[in-house]
Amino acid sequence: MLLLTILLPLLGFALLGLFGKRLKEPLPGLIASALVLVSFLLGVGLLAQGGARFQAEWLPGIPFSLLLDNLSGFMLMIVTGVGFLIHVYAIGYMHGDPGNSRFFAYFNLFIAMMLTLVLADSYPVMFIGWEGVGLASFLLIGFWYKNAQYADSARKAFIVNRIGDLGFMLGMAILWALYGTLSITELKEALEGPLKNPSLLALAGLLLFLGAVGKSAQVPLMVWLPDAMAGPTPVSALIHAATMVTAGVYLVARSSFLYANLPDVSYAIAVIGLLTAAYGALSAFGQNDIKKIVAYSTISQLGYMFLAAGVGAYWVALFHVFTHAFFKALLFLASGSVIHALGGEQDVRKMGGLWKHLPLTRWHGLIGALALGGLPLLSGFWSKDAILTATLTYPFGGLGFYLGALLVAVLTAMYAMRWFVLVFLGEERGHHHPHEAPGVMLWPNHLLALGSLLAGYLALPHPLPNVLEAFLKPTLAEVEAHHLSLGAEWGLIALSGVVALLGLWLGYTFFQRKAFPAWYLTFEAWSRESFYADRVYNALLVNPLKALAEALLFGDMGLLGGYAGLGGLVRSLGQGVARLQAGYLRVYALLFVLGVLLVLGVMRW
Residue 541 makes contact with another protein by CB under 8 A: no
Residue 569 makes contact with another protein by CB under 8 A: no
Which amino acid type is present at position 150? Y
Residue 57 makes contact with another protein by CB under 8 A: yes
Q: Convert residues 8-27 into a mask of x (bound to another protein by CB under 8 A) and - (unbound).
A: ---------x----------
Compute the least distance from the CB of residue 148 to another protein, in Å.
4
List binders of another protein among 249-278 (CB under 8 A): none
Residue 131 makes contact with another protein by CB under 8 A: yes
CA–CA dist 129, 556 (Å, integer): 37
How many Å separate Cα 266 from the centre of its chain? 19
Compute the least distance from the CB of residue 552 to another protein, in Å.
5
**Binder of another protein out of 48, 515, 518, 560 (CB under 8 A):** 560
Q: Convert residues 302-341 into a mask of x (bound to another protein by CB under 8 A) and - (unbound).
A: ----------------------------------------
**Binder of another protein out of 49, 147, 509, 543 (CB under 8 A):** 147
Applying CB under 8 A, which part among 158-166, 325-333, 379-387, 463-471 lies near another protein? 158-166
Residue 513 makes contact with another protein by CB under 8 A: no
Residue 595 makes contact with another protein by CB under 8 A: yes
Nearest to 79 by CA among 128, 44, 29: 44
Applying CB under 8 A, which part among 309-317, 419-427, 475-483, 581-589 lies near another protein? 581-589
CA–CA dist 267, 398 (Å, integer): 10
190, 249 in Cβ contact below 8 A? no
Applying CB under 8 A, which part among 46-54, 241-249, 407-415, 540-548 lies near another protein? 540-548
Nearer to another protein, 521 or 590 (CB): 590
Compute the least distance from the CB of residue 570 to another protein, in Å.
6
- For residue 566, CA distances in Å to 563, 571, 576 come to 5, 9, 15
58 three-class SS = strand
**Binder of another protein out of 3, 97, 155, 481 (CB under 8 A):** 155
CA–CA dist 462, 482 (Å, integer): 13
Residue 578 makes contact with another protein by CB under 8 A: yes
CA–CA dist 388, 308 (Å, integer): 8
- For residue 235, CA distances in Å to 13, 225, 289 come to 16, 12, 16
Compute the least distance from the CB of residue 143 to another protein, in Å.
10
Residue 53 makes contact with another protein by CB under 8 A: no
Residue 540 makes contact with another protein by CB under 8 A: no
Applying CB under 8 A, which part among 253-261, 476-484, 525-533, 554-562 lies near another protein? 554-562
Compute the least distance from the CB of residue 135 to another protein, in Å.
6
121 contact partners, CB below 8 Å, separation of at least 6: 53, 65, 66, 67, 183, 184, 185
**Binder of another protein out of 48, 427, 433, 550 (CB under 8 A):** 550
Applying CB under 8 A, which part among 150-158, 319-327, 432-440, 444-452 lies near another protein? 150-158
Compute the least distance from the CB of residue 584 to another protein, in Å.
9
143, 54 in Cβ contact below 8 A? no
Nearer to another protein, 540 or 596 (CB): 596
**Binder of another protein out of 163, 268, 406, 460 (CB under 8 A):** 163
331, 372 in Cβ contact below 8 A? yes
Nearer to another protein, 162 or 188 (CB): 162
Nearer to another protein, 71 or 174 (CB): 174
Residue 60 makes contact with another protein by CB under 8 A: yes
Question: For residue 464, what is the DSSP state?
Answer: S
Its sign, for the CA torsion 80, 81, 82, 83, is positive
CA–CA dist 287, 387 (Å, integer): 26
Listed as own residue / partner, the contacts of 172-177 with beta carbons closer than 8 Å and 24 or more positions apart are: 172/123, 172/124, 172/127, 172/208, 174/200, 174/201, 174/203, 174/204, 174/207, 175/123, 175/204
The verdict on whether omega for the bond into residue 474 sits within 30 degrees of 0, i.e. cis, is no
Compute the least distance from the CB of residue 335 to another protein, in Å.
25
Compute the least distance from the CB of residue 71 to another protein, in Å.
22
32 contact partners, CB below 8 Å, separation of at least 6: 9, 12, 16, 87, 104, 105, 107, 108
Nearer to another protein, 58 or 510 (CB): 58
Residue 506 makes contact with another protein by CB under 8 A: no
CA–CA dist 370, 348 (Å, integer): 18
Nearer to another protein, 20 or 373 (CB): 20
Compute the least distance from the CB of residue 84 to another protein, in Å.
24
Nearer to another protein, 84 or 158 (CB): 158
CA angle 40, 44, 45 (to 5 degrees): 115
Nearer to another protein, 174 or 274 (CB): 174
Residue 563 makes contact with another protein by CB under 8 A: yes
Nearer to another protein, 143 or 402 (CB): 143
**Binder of another protein out of 40, 89, 110, 158 (CB under 8 A):** 158
Nearest to 249 by CA among 163, 316, 203: 316
List binders of another protein among 91-130 (CB under 8 A): 124, 127-128, 130
- For residue 261, CA distances in Å to 185, 288, 312 come to 16, 43, 10
**Binder of another protein out of 1, 19, 41, 159 (CB under 8 A):** 159
336 contact partners, CB below 8 Å, separation of at least 6: 89, 93, 233, 234, 236, 237, 441
303, 280 in Cβ contact below 8 A? yes
Compute the least distance from the CB of residue 251 to another protein, in Å.
15
Residue 349 makes contact with another protein by CB under 8 A: no
CA–CA dist 79, 85 (Å, integer): 10
CA angle 573, 577, 582 (to 5 degrees): 140
Nearer to another protein, 488 or 542 (CB): 542
**Binder of another protein out of 19, 49, 61, 544 (CB under 8 A):** 61
Residue 179 makes contact with another protein by CB under 8 A: no
What is the number of other CB atoms lying within 10 angstroms of the CB of residue 425?
17
106, 139 in Cβ contact below 8 A? yes
Beta-bridged to residue 56, according to DSSP, are: 64
